Protein backbone atom coordinates (compact mmCIF):
# COMPACT_ATOMS: atom_id res chain seq x y z
CA UNK A 1 0.00 0.00 0.00
CA UNK A 2 2.82 2.37 0.88
CA UNK A 3 4.47 1.64 -2.46
CA UNK A 4 1.26 2.45 -4.34
CA UNK A 5 0.89 5.75 -2.46
CA UNK A 6 4.54 6.57 -3.23
CA UNK A 7 4.12 5.86 -6.98
CA UNK A 8 0.95 7.93 -7.13
CA UNK A 9 2.69 10.81 -5.36
CA UNK A 10 5.59 10.70 -7.83
CA UNK A 11 3.19 10.70 -10.82
CA UNK A 12 1.28 13.65 -9.38
CA UNK A 13 4.50 15.60 -8.87
CA UNK A 14 5.64 14.81 -12.43
CA UNK A 15 2.28 15.87 -13.83
CA UNK A 16 2.35 19.14 -11.88
CA UNK A 17 5.93 19.79 -13.03
CA UNK A 18 5.02 19.09 -16.66
CA UNK A 19 1.91 21.26 -16.42
CA UNK A 20 3.95 24.14 -14.98
CA UNK A 21 6.53 23.84 -17.79
CA UNK A 22 3.80 23.71 -20.44
CA UNK A 23 2.16 26.76 -18.90
CA UNK A 24 5.47 28.66 -19.00
CA UNK A 25 5.94 27.62 -22.63
CA UNK A 26 2.42 28.73 -23.58
CA UNK A 27 2.89 32.07 -21.80
CA UNK A 28 6.18 32.55 -23.65
CA UNK A 29 4.56 31.79 -27.02
CA UNK A 30 1.72 34.20 -26.23
CA UNK A 31 4.23 36.95 -25.46
CA UNK A 32 6.00 36.31 -28.76
CA UNK A 33 2.68 36.42 -30.63
CA UNK A 34 1.73 39.67 -28.88
CA UNK A 35 5.08 41.26 -29.78
CA UNK A 36 4.66 40.13 -33.39
CA UNK A 37 1.23 41.74 -33.59
CA UNK A 38 2.61 44.97 -32.12
CA UNK A 39 5.32 45.04 -34.80
CA UNK A 40 2.62 45.23 -37.49
CA UNK A 41 -0.08 47.18 -35.63
CA UNK A 42 -0.79 50.82 -36.38
CA UNK A 43 -1.16 52.88 -33.20
CA UNK A 44 -3.47 55.94 -32.89
CA UNK A 45 -1.62 59.22 -33.46
CA UNK A 46 1.81 59.50 -35.07
CA UNK A 47 3.67 56.30 -35.98
CA UNK A 48 7.31 57.20 -36.67
CA UNK A 49 10.08 55.04 -38.10
CA UNK A 50 13.58 55.94 -39.30
CA UNK A 51 16.43 53.53 -40.01
CA UNK A 52 19.73 53.77 -41.88
CA UNK A 53 21.87 51.12 -43.53
CA UNK A 54 25.45 51.10 -44.84
CA UNK A 55 27.09 48.18 -46.64
CA UNK A 56 30.65 47.72 -47.93
CA UNK A 57 32.25 45.11 -50.19
CA UNK A 58 36.03 45.08 -50.66
CA UNK A 59 38.34 42.70 -52.52
CA UNK A 60 42.12 43.21 -52.94
CA UNK A 61 44.76 41.13 -54.71
CA UNK A 62 48.54 41.30 -54.47
CA UNK A 63 50.72 39.04 -56.60
CA UNK A 64 47.77 36.67 -56.94
CA UNK A 65 48.80 33.96 -59.41
CA UNK A 66 45.31 33.26 -60.76
CA UNK A 67 44.54 36.96 -61.30
CA UNK A 68 41.67 39.15 -60.15
CA UNK A 69 40.45 42.72 -59.90
CA UNK A 70 40.59 44.99 -56.87
CA UNK A 71 37.03 46.08 -56.10
CA UNK A 72 35.55 48.41 -53.51
CA UNK A 73 31.77 48.92 -53.37
CA UNK A 74 29.74 50.89 -50.84
CA UNK A 75 26.02 51.58 -50.54
CA UNK A 76 24.20 53.75 -48.02
CA UNK A 77 20.68 54.99 -47.49
CA UNK A 78 17.76 55.40 -45.18
CA UNK A 79 14.09 54.50 -44.94
CA UNK A 80 11.64 56.62 -42.99
CA UNK A 81 7.93 56.89 -42.45
CA UNK A 82 5.60 59.20 -40.57
CA UNK A 83 2.01 57.96 -40.40
CA UNK A 84 -0.73 59.91 -38.66
CA UNK A 85 -3.73 57.71 -37.88
CA UNK A 86 -6.93 59.12 -36.40
CA UNK A 87 -10.57 58.06 -36.28
CA UNK A 88 -11.42 59.65 -39.64
CA UNK A 89 -8.05 60.22 -41.37
CA UNK A 90 -4.85 58.42 -42.23
CA UNK A 91 -1.90 60.44 -43.55
CA UNK A 92 1.01 58.24 -44.59
CA UNK A 93 4.36 59.80 -45.55
CA UNK A 94 7.27 57.63 -46.65
CA UNK A 95 10.81 58.42 -47.81
CA UNK A 96 13.48 56.16 -49.26
CA UNK A 97 16.96 57.31 -50.32
CA UNK A 98 19.73 55.01 -51.60
CA UNK A 99 23.13 55.87 -53.06
CA UNK A 100 26.16 53.73 -53.85
CA UNK A 101 29.45 53.73 -55.74
CA UNK A 102 32.03 51.19 -56.87
CA UNK A 103 35.71 51.43 -57.78
CA UNK A 104 37.56 48.73 -59.69
CA UNK A 105 41.36 48.72 -60.05
CA UNK A 106 42.43 52.21 -61.14
CA UNK A 107 39.20 53.14 -62.91
CA UNK A 108 37.16 56.18 -61.94
CA UNK A 109 34.35 55.50 -59.44
CA UNK A 110 31.05 54.38 -60.92
CA UNK A 111 27.54 54.78 -59.59
CA UNK A 112 25.82 51.57 -58.54
CA UNK A 113 22.68 52.86 -56.81
CA UNK A 114 20.86 56.17 -56.85
CA UNK A 115 17.24 56.63 -55.82
CA UNK A 116 15.06 59.24 -54.19
CA UNK A 117 11.50 58.01 -53.60
CA UNK A 118 9.05 60.21 -51.67
CA UNK A 119 5.35 59.47 -51.21
CA UNK A 120 2.45 61.05 -49.34
CA UNK A 121 -1.07 59.58 -49.19
CA UNK A 122 -4.04 61.16 -47.40
CA UNK A 123 -6.98 58.78 -46.85
CA UNK A 124 -10.43 59.61 -45.51
CA UNK A 125 -11.60 56.63 -43.46
CA UNK A 126 -15.25 56.58 -44.49
CA UNK A 127 -15.66 52.81 -44.64
CA UNK A 128 -13.93 49.93 -42.88
CA UNK A 129 -11.78 48.91 -45.87
CA UNK A 130 -12.63 50.96 -49.01
CA UNK A 131 -11.80 54.66 -48.62
CA UNK A 132 -11.12 57.66 -50.89
CA UNK A 133 -7.58 59.04 -51.06
CA UNK A 134 -5.35 61.68 -52.67
CA UNK A 135 -1.67 60.92 -53.26
CA UNK A 136 1.60 62.49 -54.36
CA UNK A 137 4.75 60.61 -55.36
CA UNK A 138 8.20 61.77 -56.52
CA UNK A 139 10.93 59.53 -57.94
CA UNK A 140 14.29 60.83 -59.13
CA UNK A 141 18.06 60.57 -58.60
CA UNK A 142 20.93 62.58 -57.13
CA UNK A 143 23.96 62.14 -59.41
CA UNK A 144 24.72 61.80 -63.15
CA UNK A 145 24.43 58.33 -64.68
CA UNK A 146 26.65 56.90 -67.42
CA UNK A 147 26.57 54.03 -69.89
CA UNK A 148 29.96 52.36 -70.22
CA UNK A 149 31.21 50.81 -73.46
CA UNK A 150 34.80 49.53 -73.38
CA UNK A 151 36.94 52.60 -72.62
CA UNK A 152 34.24 55.15 -73.32
CA UNK A 153 31.37 56.41 -71.21
CA UNK A 154 28.26 58.28 -72.29
CA UNK A 155 26.13 60.28 -69.90
CA UNK A 156 22.51 59.16 -70.01
CA UNK A 157 20.99 60.93 -66.99
CA UNK A 158 21.67 63.73 -64.51
CA UNK A 159 20.57 65.17 -61.19
CA UNK A 160 16.76 65.41 -61.19
CA UNK A 161 16.88 64.35 -64.85
CA UNK A 162 14.65 62.45 -65.22
CA UNK A 163 12.17 63.03 -62.39
CA UNK A 164 8.67 61.58 -62.15
CA UNK A 165 5.97 63.43 -60.22
CA UNK A 166 2.65 61.58 -59.93
CA UNK A 167 -0.48 62.81 -58.18
CA UNK A 168 -3.64 60.74 -57.98
CA UNK A 169 -7.12 60.39 -56.56
CA UNK A 170 -9.19 57.26 -56.15
CA UNK A 171 -10.23 54.44 -53.82
CA UNK A 172 -7.96 52.53 -51.48
CA UNK A 173 -8.34 49.12 -49.82
CA UNK A 174 -6.45 48.58 -46.56
CA UNK A 175 -7.63 45.60 -44.50
CA UNK A 176 -4.52 45.82 -42.30
CA UNK A 177 -1.34 47.85 -41.82
CA UNK A 178 0.76 45.20 -43.54
CA UNK A 179 -1.22 45.28 -46.80
CA UNK A 180 -2.82 48.16 -48.64
CA UNK A 181 -3.64 48.82 -52.27
CA UNK A 182 -5.17 51.73 -54.14
CA UNK A 183 -6.35 52.48 -57.67
CA UNK A 184 -7.50 55.71 -59.24
CA UNK A 185 -7.00 58.46 -61.78
CA UNK A 186 -3.56 60.06 -61.89
CA UNK A 187 -1.44 62.62 -63.71
CA UNK A 188 2.25 61.85 -64.20
CA UNK A 189 4.67 64.66 -65.03
CA UNK A 190 8.11 63.75 -66.36
CA UNK A 191 10.91 66.31 -66.11
CA UNK A 192 13.99 65.90 -68.34
CA UNK A 193 16.23 68.86 -69.12
CA UNK A 194 19.18 67.41 -71.04
CA UNK A 195 17.92 63.90 -71.77
CA UNK A 196 14.51 64.22 -73.48
CA UNK A 197 14.43 60.53 -74.44
CA UNK A 198 12.72 59.97 -71.08
CA UNK A 199 9.70 62.08 -71.96
CA UNK A 200 9.22 61.89 -75.74
CA UNK A 201 11.47 64.78 -76.69
CA UNK A 202 9.97 67.31 -74.26
CA UNK A 203 11.52 68.88 -71.20
CA UNK A 204 8.20 68.53 -69.40
CA UNK A 205 5.66 65.91 -70.39
CA UNK A 206 2.29 65.45 -68.66
CA UNK A 207 0.26 62.27 -69.04
CA UNK A 208 -3.11 61.39 -67.51
CA UNK A 209 -4.12 57.84 -66.86
CA UNK A 210 -4.73 55.14 -64.27
CA UNK A 211 -2.45 54.38 -61.33
CA UNK A 212 -2.41 51.23 -59.21
CA UNK A 213 -0.14 51.02 -56.16
CA UNK A 214 0.18 48.08 -53.76
CA UNK A 215 2.19 47.96 -50.53
CA UNK A 216 2.89 44.73 -48.65
CA UNK A 217 5.16 44.41 -45.63
CA UNK A 218 5.59 42.01 -42.77
CA UNK A 219 7.88 41.96 -39.74
CA UNK A 220 7.89 38.36 -38.57
CA UNK A 221 10.06 39.22 -35.58
CA UNK A 222 12.73 41.74 -34.74
CA UNK A 223 15.08 39.63 -36.87
CA UNK A 224 13.27 39.26 -40.20
CA UNK A 225 11.47 41.84 -42.32
CA UNK A 226 9.95 41.78 -45.82
CA UNK A 227 8.66 44.77 -47.77
CA UNK A 228 7.40 45.08 -51.35
CA UNK A 229 5.80 47.86 -53.37
CA UNK A 230 4.35 47.65 -56.86
CA UNK A 231 3.62 50.94 -58.65
CA UNK A 232 1.91 50.84 -62.06
CA UNK A 233 0.81 53.73 -64.25
CA UNK A 234 -0.84 53.57 -67.69
CA UNK A 235 -1.68 56.67 -69.69
CA UNK A 236 -4.98 56.96 -71.52
CA UNK A 237 -3.05 57.36 -74.79
CA UNK A 238 -1.37 53.94 -74.50
CA UNK A 239 -3.01 51.84 -71.81
CA UNK A 240 -1.18 48.71 -72.97
CA UNK A 241 2.24 50.36 -72.37
CA UNK A 242 2.34 51.15 -68.69
CA UNK A 243 5.14 52.21 -66.40
CA UNK A 244 6.00 49.61 -63.76
CA UNK A 245 8.24 50.06 -60.72
CA UNK A 246 8.51 47.04 -58.42
CA UNK A 247 10.77 47.22 -55.38
CA UNK A 248 11.21 44.31 -52.93
CA UNK A 249 13.40 44.06 -49.82
CA UNK A 250 14.15 41.01 -47.68
CA UNK A 251 16.13 41.91 -44.57
CA UNK A 252 17.56 39.61 -41.91
CA UNK A 253 19.12 41.00 -38.73
CA UNK A 254 22.06 38.88 -37.58
CA UNK A 255 22.58 41.12 -34.56
CA UNK A 256 21.19 44.46 -33.40
CA UNK A 257 23.42 46.33 -35.88
CA UNK A 258 24.47 43.78 -38.53
CA UNK A 259 22.02 42.99 -41.35
CA UNK A 260 21.81 41.02 -44.58
CA UNK A 261 19.78 42.58 -47.40
CA UNK A 262 18.42 41.02 -50.56
CA UNK A 263 16.87 43.77 -52.68
CA UNK A 264 15.40 43.60 -56.17
CA UNK A 265 14.19 46.32 -58.54
CA UNK A 266 12.15 45.82 -61.68
CA UNK A 267 11.46 48.82 -63.94
CA UNK A 268 9.52 48.93 -67.19
CA UNK A 269 9.13 52.17 -69.11
CA UNK A 270 8.15 51.78 -72.76
CA UNK A 271 9.34 55.31 -73.56
CA UNK A 272 12.90 54.37 -72.52
CA UNK A 273 13.10 50.66 -73.43
CA UNK A 274 10.75 47.97 -74.69
CA UNK A 275 12.45 45.50 -72.34
CA UNK A 276 12.04 45.24 -68.58
CA UNK A 277 15.02 46.42 -66.53
CA UNK A 278 16.01 44.28 -63.54
CA UNK A 279 18.51 44.83 -60.73
CA UNK A 280 19.38 42.60 -57.75
CA UNK A 281 21.60 43.37 -54.75
CA UNK A 282 22.79 41.06 -51.98
CA UNK A 283 24.72 42.82 -49.22
CA UNK A 284 25.77 42.65 -45.59
CA UNK A 285 26.34 45.75 -43.54
CA UNK A 286 25.37 47.96 -40.62
CA UNK A 287 21.93 49.23 -39.67
CA UNK A 288 20.81 51.67 -37.00
CA UNK A 289 17.20 52.41 -36.11
CA UNK A 290 16.63 55.88 -34.68
CA UNK A 291 12.88 55.51 -34.12
pLDDT tens, 25-55? 555 445 544 544 445 677 889 998 888 888 8
3-state secondary structure the chain: CHHHHHHHHHHHHHHHHHHHHHHHHHHHHHHHHHHHHHHCCCCCEEEEEEEEEEEEEEECCCCCCCCCCCEEEEEEEEEEEEEEECCCEEEEEEEEEEEEEEEECCCCCEEEEEEEEEEEEEEECCCCCEEEEEEEEEEECCCCEEEEECCEEEEEEECCECEEEEEEEEEEEEEECCEEEEEEEEEEEEECCCCHHHHCCCCEEEEEEEEEEEEEEEECCCCEEEEEEEEEEEECCCCCCCEEEEEEEEEEECCCCEEEEEEEEEEECCCCCCCCEEEEEEEEEEEEECC
Q: For all residues of the chain together, what is the average pLDDT?
A: 83
pLDDT digits (tens, 9 = 90+) for 173-230: 988 778 899 999 999 998 988 876 666 667 888 999 999 999 998 888 778 889 999 9
Q: Which of 1-15, 18-32, 228-242, 261-275 has the lowest mean pLDDT?
A: 18-32
**Domain locations along the chain:** 1-39, 48-289
Q: Does domain 48-289 have CATH number 2.40.230?
A: yes
Predicted TM-score of the model (pTM): 0.79
Q: Is the pLDDT of residue 121 over 90?
A: yes
Model confidence at 232, pLDDT cuts 50, 70, 90, reads very high
Amino acid sequence: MARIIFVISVLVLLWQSGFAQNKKLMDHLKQIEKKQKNYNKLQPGWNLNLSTAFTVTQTAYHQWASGGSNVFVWTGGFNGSAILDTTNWNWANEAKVIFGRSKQNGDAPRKTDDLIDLESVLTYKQKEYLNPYVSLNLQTQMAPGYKYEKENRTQVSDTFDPAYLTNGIGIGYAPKKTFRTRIGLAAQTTFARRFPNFDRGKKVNIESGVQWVTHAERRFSKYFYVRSRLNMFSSFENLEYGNIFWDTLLQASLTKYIIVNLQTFMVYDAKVSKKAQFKEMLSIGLKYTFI
